[in-house]
Amino acid sequence: MTHSQMLKSLLYLLIISVVTFSCTKKEERYVPKPKGFNRVELPEHAYQKLTQDHPYTFEVSKYAQVVPDTFAMAGKDWIFINYPQFNANIQITYKAIDNKPANLKDFINDSYKLASKHQIRASAIQEQRVLGKTGKTAILFKIDGDVPSPYQFYTTDSTRHFMRGAIYFPTATKNDSLAPVIDYLQKDMVQLLNTLNWR
């Protein structure tokens, strides 16, 4: 075997070894696993009448705590229906119209502005007119996407009473993981509207 044949054979062997070694050793890549969602235990819906003295009454969840709204701009009849187990609440704001059409127009415009503030993060905002069992009509906003307030509504008798409600989650959790809780609270919001009466 000549010197050049020996070099060719060695080079051939080296190439075969490298190819074989690279084929047998699999490259391992780290692939992060998606975060698991916490299992949420949802109690059966159960309601009781709001016992506090306000110009309105409705049924609230037995698992919620009704507390005054303590924001600086809050009116005396603004409340939070707080769900500590979900770190969520339904905020209720109430305003007297005083038989002034300009007041009603301003309150309705404010409701639309507050709903549209979520447009930056929302994938869709759907508006629906709903009729409660006590004959009260409400405008319900369903806001899709990772927003802190997935449902809002307003309702009025057009002359004396105006109420706005909003489900709020003060958390950065993705709404797809909160879907069961959002659905649960939405049912409580519908119950509120179905049992609403003005005083």
Look at the block and give the residue holding tokens 């190819």: 19
Structural domain count of the chain: 1
Q: Is residue 161 part of a domain?
A: yes
Q: Is residue 28 part of a domain?
A: no
pTM equals 0.77
Predicted confidence (pLDDT) at residue 102 exceeds the cutoff of 90: yes
Q: Is residue 62 part of a domain?
A: yes
SS3 135: coil
- Which residues form the domain of 109? 47-198
Task: Read off the pLDDT of residues 40-64 as tens digits, 9 standing for 90 and up.
Answer: 789 999 999 998 999 999 999 999 9
Q: Is residue 117 part of a domain?
A: yes
Q: Is residue 123 part of a domain?
A: yes
**75 near 110, Cβ under 8 Å?**
no
| CATH, residue 87 | 3.40.1000
pLDDT for the residue 23 = 54
Q: Is residue 140 part of a domain?
A: yes
- By 3-state DSSP, what share of the chain in percent is helix, strand and coil, each rounded to 5? 30, 30, 40
Task: Read off the pLDDT of residues 117-138 as tens digits, 9 standing for 90 and up.
Answer: 877 788 888 999 999 888 899 9
Confidence band, pLDDT 50/70/90 cuts, at residue 29: low
Q: Is residue 103 part of a domain?
A: yes
Distances (CA, A) of 134 to 3, 9, 48, 49, 112: 103, 94, 16, 14, 24
Q: Is residue 183 part of a domain?
A: yes
